[in-house]
């Protein structure tokens, strides 16, 4: 477990550094002074000034930050347009600085997904909101492959009887005793529904088989050149859609069942560390699953940071968008107060989620 914690902390450090490095690079590009590059949330545990920037480690290991000159100042004094102050830059330059962190996390997620997809011959696990019955793969010499059943398809029905689990599917096929069965199939997303007739083949042990391996979780296969070229990006888009579906479900749980029930489906740093330990316990074969897991975290960081939540990049982007549209800045003291309130709320949620994660360890 200790080794897994070290690996997770290093992973978190890398993800935070990648995100903040995006802000850092674009700020430097536009001549903005970077006063501090920090990992974690203050109070500061350690810091060293290199050039004009302080590089720090902070006591609360949740995220990180880049502190730009003038970014959170409320003094309305006139700023020289040639100044290295964040406020002196055009609204579009400031928007690009804010978007840079999210963009870096997104690019990292794409890169990791490409590595996993290519390493698995352009095939990857495809998370879905609810378990169902999917075709993991078909076997040569058996009727399912000859009938055109494809890997990755979802099995809805057998002979118009809705399928709830793998055991039910196997039982219905066995009961036909070699007679034709009608399989109702679709793609992973439940679209392009079609029906295929398959005649089970009697195996040496007397079982009647159609030659498929079922799975409760689908794997997506990228077949064409275009699908392969954009596989990492399209996979990220699929996961983003699933994330927003999950957010909608979580919101419903919060209103109907309260935080206690909703917290069962979310994890904070402690929960992610536990998942890390579960994956790494597999040994060397865990390399690709762990890269996939890190890609998921990086993509999630990008998604949540772009949401219009005060104290996050999306919250700052919202105020900058208002300025770009109205051509008038929101009062600095108002924006600062909103971000401070948002920060306190976020810290409260982090504490609650961390408490929930720890409670799960000791049921």
Whether 224 maps to a domain, the answer reads no
For 286-324, letters b (16+ CB in 10 Å) and e give eeeebbbbbbbbbbbbbbbbbeebbbbbbbbbbbbeebe
Same domain, yes or no, for 143 and 93? Answer: no
Residues catalogued as catalytic: 20
Of the chain, the percentage scoring pLDDT greater than 70 comes to: 94
Predicted pLDDT at 257: 65
- Residue 212 falls inside a structural domain: yes
Same domain, 85 and 168: no
Query: CA 283, CA 362: separation in Å to the nearest integer?
Result: 25
CA distances from 123 to 118, 139, 172, 189, 310 (A): 7, 17, 29, 16, 38
Radius of gyration over every alpha carbon of the chain, rounded to an integer in angstroms = 25
Is 93 in the same domain as 196?
Answer: no
Q: What is the arithmetic mean of pLDDT over 318-335?
A: 91
Same domain, 6 and 115: yes
**Does 191 share its domain with 109?**
no
Span 199-216, pLDDT tens digits: 988 887 778 889 888 988
The model's confidence at residue 24, banded by pLDDT at 50, 70 and 90, is: very high
Please give the model's pTM, rounded to 2 decimal places: 0.83
Q: What is the pLDDT of residues 75-103, one digit of tens each?
A: 655 667 678 999 889 999 999 999 999 99
261 within some domain: no
In this predicted model, what pLDDT tens digit does every residue of 63-72 receive, in sequence order?
788 999 988 7
pLDDT at 56: 93
Q: Is 311 inside a domain boundary? A: yes
The pLDDT assigned to 320 comes to 95
Model pLDDT for residues 150-165, shown as the tens digit of each residue: 888 899 999 988 988 8
pLDDT of residue 77: 57
Q: 7 and 115 share a domain?
A: yes
The residue behind tokens 């919101």 is 251
Cβ within 8 Å of residue 131, ≥6 positions away: 216, 217
Q: Are residues 287 and 208 in the same domain?
A: no
23-32, 125-134, 248-257, 326-335: which is most confident: 23-32
Structure tokens at 104: 């870096």
Question: Has residue 311 got a pLDDT over 80?
Answer: yes
CA angle (275, 280, 282) in 5-degree steps: 115
Structural domain contains residue 48: yes
CA quadruple 148, 130, 300, 363: dihedral positive or negative? Answer: negative
Measured distance CA(198)–CA(219) in Å, rounded: 22
Q: Are residues 60 and 100 in the same domain?
A: yes
Same domain, 116 and 12: yes
pLDDT above 60: residue 10: yes
- Domain of 301, in residue numbers: 2-120+269-361
107 and 14 within one domain: yes
248 lies in a domain? no
**173-187, 227-241, 305-319: segment of lowest average pLDDT:** 173-187
Query: How is residue 284 written in tokens?
Result: 């060397």
**pLDDT at residue number 203:** 80
Mean pLDDT of 320-340: 90
Mean local confidence (pLDDT), 6-15: 90
Whether 191 and 91 share a structural domain: no
Q: Is 27 a member of any domain?
A: yes
What is the reported pLDDT for 266? 73
Q: Say yes or no: 70 and 42 in one domain.
A: yes
**Structural domains of the chain, count:** 2
State how far Cα 193 lies from the chain centre. Answer: 28
Is 203 within the bounds of a domain?
Answer: yes
What the block records as the tokens of 158 is 């057998």
Q: What average pLDDT does this structure show over 238-251?
A: 84
């Amino acid at each position: 477990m200790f080794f897994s914690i070290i690996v997770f902390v290093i992973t978190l450090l890398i993800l935070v550094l990648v995100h903040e490095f995006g802000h850092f690079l674009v700020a430097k590009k536009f001549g903005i002074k970077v006063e501090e590059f920090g990992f974690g949330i203050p109070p500061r545990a350690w810091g060293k000034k290199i050039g004009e920037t302080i590089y720090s480690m902070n006591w609360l290991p949740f995220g990180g930050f880049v502190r730009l000159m003038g970014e959170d100042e409320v003094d309305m004094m006139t700023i020289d347009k040639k100044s290295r102050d964040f406020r002196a830059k055009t609204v579009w330059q400031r928007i690009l600085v804010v978007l840079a962190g999210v963009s870096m996390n997104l690019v990292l997620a794409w890169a990791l997904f490409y590595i996993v997809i290519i390493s698995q011959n352009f095939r990857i696990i495809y998370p879905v909101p609810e378990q169902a019955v999917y075709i993991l793969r078909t076997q040569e010499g058996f009727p399912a492959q000859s009938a055109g059943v494809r890997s990755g398809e979802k099995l809805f029905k057998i002979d118009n009887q809705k399928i709830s689990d793998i055991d039910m599917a196997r039982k219905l096929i066995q009961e036909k005793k070699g007679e034709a069965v009608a399989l109702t199939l679709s793609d992973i997303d439940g679209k392009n529904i079609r029906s295929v007739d398959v005649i089970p083949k009697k195996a040496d042990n007397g079982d009647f088989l159609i030659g498929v391996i079922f799975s409760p979780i689908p794997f997506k296969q990228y077949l064409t050149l275009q699908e392969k070229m954009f596989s990492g990006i399209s996979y990220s888009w699929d996961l983003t859609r699933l994330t927003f579906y999950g957010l909608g479900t979580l919101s419903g749980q919060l209103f109907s069942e309260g935080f206690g029930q909703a917290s069962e489906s979310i994890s904070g740093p402690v929960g992610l560390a536990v998942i890390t330990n579960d994956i790494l316990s597999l040994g060397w074969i865990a390399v690709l699953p762990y890269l996939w897991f890190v890609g998921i975290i990086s993509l999630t960081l990008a998604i949540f940071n772009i949401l219009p939540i005060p104290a996050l990049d999306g919250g700052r982007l919202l105020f900058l968008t208002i300025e770009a549209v109205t051509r008038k800045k929101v009062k600095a003291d108002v924006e600062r107060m909103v971000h401070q309130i948002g920060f306190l709320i976020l810290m409260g949620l982090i504490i609650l989620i961390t408490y929930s994660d720890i409670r799960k360890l000791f049921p």
